[in-house]
Structure 1
Amino acid sequence: MKLKQLEGLLGNLDQFANPKIELEQYPTGAHIASRMLYTAENSFGDVSDKVVADFGCGCGTLGIAAALLGADHVIGFDVDTDSLEIAYSNAEDLELDVNFVQCDIGNLECRGKIIDTVVMNPPFGTRNKGADMEFLSVALKVASRAVYSLHKTTTRDHVRKTALQDCNARSAEVLCELRYDVPKLYKFHRKKEVDIAVDLWRFVPAKAAGNGGLCR
C-alpha cells in the first residue's frame, strides 16, 4: 500500500466524540500515523506478517494502520471503553480483524504468543507525570523486535536516558521530527490549532526475540 492511500484511509476514521483530559486524549492524525507505520514497515520490516500491539490505542488509528500494512495480528489496548467502541467500529468499517482489549497498560500481564512490535502515541505526561515513561517501560518488556513511539521533542534527552538506563533498551533512535497538530478540544484551549514538535522514536528491546508475550 502506498503512503498516500494509507493516509487517505486513516483520514476517514472516526475520532473522539468527547475526549477525556484526565487521560490526555488527543487524536493521532492521519498524516503522522501513516508516516509512523509506513516507516516501521518500509524501513525496518516491523509490521507485515508481525504481531503488533497498539498501546493506548484510543480510536484505533495506529493499530488499524498496522493491519492495513499487512500485520499478521493486531491488538489494541486502552483503559477507556468509549474509545474502544469507536476503535472497534473503525476497524469493522474497513473490514479489518483487529482485537481490542480494555485494560490499564501498567497492569498488563504478558505470556504465551509473542508480540513483535509495539506502536503507540502515549500520554505526554502533562497531566499524569511519568505516564509516557510508564508506557515505554511496559512496551520494552513486551516487544521482541521494536517499539515505535511519539514523544515531545523537548523531552528528547530525558526519553533517551530513561530508555537506555531505566527501561533497559538496547538502542533508542530518533527517526525523524514531526509536527503534531493538536486541535481545539478542551475548554482551556485558546487557539483553534497548535503544532507541537514530536520525535518519532524506534526503540529496540535489550533481549532477543522470544522475550515478548501476548498481553491479557
Structure 2
Amino acid sequence: MLYMAENTFGDIMDKVVVDLGCGCGTLGLAAMLMGAEHVIGVDMDSDALEIASSNAIDLETEMDFMKCDVGKLSWTGSMVDTVIMNPPFGTRKKGADLEFLSTALKVSAGAVYSLHKTTTREHVQRSAIQNLNAKTAEVLCQLRFDLPVLYKFHKKREVDIMVDLWRFTPN
C-alpha cells in the first residue's frame, strides 16, 4: 500500500499522514520510515495505542497517537495530506468501513488509501462518489488476506478474504 502510494503517486514522503484506526501502528510507522514529515495514529483502543507507541520507540521513530473513535473525530477541513487505513470491513458493524472513509475524505487534502472487501466494490465506489464527496475512487489492486482468528466473534480458524486497495481523492 505505502510503496504504491509513494512510488506511483508521491503521497508519503514529506507529507503529513494520518493512520485512521491505527491499531499497533503498522501503516503509520511504515509511513514514518518511508520519509513522511509527520504521522498521527488514531485509534479508540488504549491497548493498541500502547503497543503502537512501544513499536515507535523500538523503531526509534516519532509518531503521535490520539485516542478517539474515528467516527467522532472532530477535525474540520483538510488537516492532512494523506490518509492511510485498514478499516473494519463492515461485516460485523454494517457501514463501519464507510464511516472511516467518510472521515478520511473530510480530513485529507490529497489522497486516501484504504482496504475494502472486494465483494463490496460496487457499493464502495457508488457510496464514495455519490454520498461521501470523493472526486475519484480507483481500485489499484486486489489482494488476498489470510485472516486468522483475532476476535471473539470470529467463528473460523482462518479465512481468506479478497480485498481491494483503493485510492480516493477528496473534492
TM-score (norm 2): 0.95
Alignment correspondent of 1:195:
160
CA distance in structure 2 between the partners assigned to 1:156 and 1:109 by the alignment: 28
User: Which aligned segments of 4 or more residues in structure 1 are displaced greater than 3 angstroms?
Assistant: 111-114, 186-192
Change (3 A) 1:107 1:186: closer
What letter is aligned with 1:153? T
Q: Distance in 2 between matches of 1:99 and 1:73?
A: 8
Consecutive unaligned residues in structure 1, runs of 5 or more:
1-35, 207-216
Residue in 2 aligned with 1:163?
A: 128
Counterparts of 1:123 and 1:194, CA distance in 2: 15
Query: Pairwise mapping of residues 106-117 of structure 1 onto structure 2 (< 5 A)?
Result: 106-110=71-75, 114-117=79-82
CA contact (8 A) 2:78 2:106 kept: no
**TM-score, L = length of structure 1:** 0.76
Question: Which whole-Å deviations, capped at 9, do the CAs of 1:162-214 have from their partners, x for residues lacking one?
Answer: 000000100000000001120123456454432110000000001xxxxxxxx
After TM superposition, the structure 1 = structure 2 runs for residues 81-160 of structure 1, keeping only pairs within 5 Å, are: 81-110=46-75, 114-160=79-125
For 1:175, which of 120, 128, 140 is the aligned residue? 140
3-state SS of the aligned residue for 2:115?
A: strand
Taking the aligned partners of 2:28 and 2:120, their CA distance within structure 1 comes to: 25
Q: CA RMSD in A?
A: 1.5
Structure (1 or 2) with the greater strand fraction? 2
Distance across 2 between alignment mates of 1:110 and 1:118: 13
Distance 2:96 2:104 in 1: 12
Secondary structure of 1:110 counterpart: coil
What is the match of residue 185 of structure 1? 150
Work out the percentage of aligned pairs sharing the same amino acid: 68
d(CA) in 2 for partners of 1:204 and 1:84? 27
The 2-side partners of 1:75 and 1:196 are apart by 28
Measured in 2, the distance between the counterparts of 1:190 and 1:169 equals 35
* Residue segments in structure 2 that go unaligned for 5+ positions in a row: none
Instruction: Give the aligned partner of residue 28 of structure 2.
Output: 63
The answer as to whether partners of 2:129 and 2:135 remain within 8 angstroms in 1 is yes
Q: Distance in 1 between matches of 2:37 and 2:128?
A: 27
| Other-structure match for 2:44 | 79
